[in-house]
Every structure is written in structure tokens, then in C-alpha cells.
Amino acid sequence: MSVSLILVPAALAIAGIIGTAGAAGAASMSTDEETSSGGSGPTPIEVHTRMKDASLLASALQDLGASNVDTVDGALTAVVGDLSLRMTRDEDDIWTAHITGADGRDAQAADATALIEQVDAAYARRVQREVAARIRTRADNAGFELVSESREEDDSVTMVLAVREQL
């Protein structure tokens, strides 16, 4: 069995445009293929995510130790641990992740959901680094001085900027 995860942008989920996803952010949904074939089809699962940028996503996968990270015809593929991942986007730019066992074995829904949660967290760390780098680069030209920067135990970053006097 393979598992397909539909990665719904978090902003849409918060706005209520997308249906409910359950307490943990993921809910199993049955398909006609599953029902008609006795449950042998892919198991789609909806997961709310913030992932948009394919290059940051590829970097996040590498941060997780993924191998064979590649982008071909808009599809992102990688092997993470013992799972094979193929991510595609639909016409609305919503990612769908197709996960199977890298060795041909069946992927479990819990393993697939855990993988996407790890990828989402790694992606968030990548986005945070990019934003912090932009702040550092642009602060001076915007009339600010970076007074201090600290990283907390939870990997959050606190930056203190001071407004420079304009003469």
C-alpha cells in the first residue's frame, strides 16, 4: 500500500477554505478506489502545511538526511530513511506527497504522516533562516541596527533592532 498526503497550505486551512483535518492536523479519508478494490488503493491523508518554495523544500529534505533529492518536471523526489517520497503540485499549487516504502514494502499512514510533519518542521527552520538573513541584509538600508540576535532552545530566533537616528 502506498500513502498519499494532500498538503494543504496552512493559511487556507486557518481561513476555513479547506475542510476539517482532525485534532492532529491529519485525517484519513476513504476513496472510491479503496472501497471498490477492497482497500488496496492509496490512502489519502490531509495534512496542513506551510510549504510553498520547492528549493527550500529540497533543502529541508537534505537537512533531514534525505538521499536522491531530485526535481524533474515539477515533481520533487527523495528517499528519507526507509520511505520513498514523491511530491507533486496541482493547479492550485497544493502539494501532494506520495509515500511508499523505499524497499518496496508498504508504507504505513502513521509513518507517512510523521515524515511529512518532520519535513514541515525542517521547512519552517529553512524559512526562518531565510527571513533572518533578509532582515540582517536589509536592516541597515531600512534605517535599523541589529542590536542582538539569540537562538532559543526551541530553535526560535529573537532579533532586536534599534532605529537609527536620521540626521
Determine the pLDDT at residue 8.
Answer: 55
For residue 150, being part of any structural domain is answered with no
What is the total count of domains within the chain? 1
For residue 44, being part of any structural domain is answered with yes
* Spatial contact of 138 and 40, defined as CB atoms under 8 Å apart: no
* Spatial contact of 96 and 6, defined as CB atoms under 8 Å apart: yes
Residue indicated by cell numbers 542582538: 148
Who contacts 67 (Cβ-Cβ below 8 Å, separation ≥6)? 78, 79
* Spatial contact of 42 and 33, defined as CB atoms under 8 Å apart: yes
Closest CA to 128 of 98, 86, 157: 157
- Range of 14-18, 30-34, 39-43, 111-115 with top mean pLDDT: 111-115
| Span 103-143, pLDDT tens digits | 877 788 888 889 988 998 899 899 999 999 999 999 888 88
Determine the pLDDT at residue 4.
Answer: 55
For residue 38, being part of any structural domain is answered with yes
Residue with the bigger pLDDT between 44 and 97: it is 97
For residue 148, being part of any structural domain is answered with no
For residue 163, being part of any structural domain is answered with no
Determine the pLDDT at residue 65.
Answer: 95
What is the CATH number for 39? 3.30.310
Average pLDDT score over the chain: 76
Fill in the DSSP letter of residue 105.
Answer: P
Domain encompassing residue 33: 3-137
Global pTM value: 0.71
Farthest CA pair distance, the chain: 75
